[in-house]
Amino acid sequence: MDWEDRTSFEAIETNFGLNEAQVIALMRRTLKLRSFNTWRARVSGRKTKYLALRSVEVSRGYSSRQYKVKRGMK
């Protein structure tokens, strides 16, 4: 969930009981160093990762381009 930029730390804490510091520690342990550094640089200060900073226009925890159903498939 944390890899997705629109999923807030608060949503992760609600669903899994991990606060921001615990999520960062988990990501540090499980990702390769370069992947962790890339992720950390990307989410540091990102408004969508914190509900208090998030715009009211962002009402979901995922991108509108995610989870599209392919048409014409049965």
- The 10s digit of each residue's pLDDT in 39-65 is 888 888 766 666 666 666 655 555 565
Inside any domain, residue 62: no
- Rounded to whole angstroms, the Cα distance separating 54 from 8 reads 9
Count: domains in the chain? 1
20 vs 72, higher pLDDT: 20
Inside any domain, residue 20: yes
Inside any domain, residue 24: yes
The boundaries of the domain holding residue 16 are 9-49
Inside any domain, residue 29: yes
* pLDDT value for 8: 80
The DSSP letter of residue 70 is P
The helix (run of H) or strand (run of E) holding residue 24 is helix 20-30
Inside any domain, residue 66: no
Inside any domain, residue 41: yes
Inside any domain, residue 26: yes
Inside any domain, residue 73: no
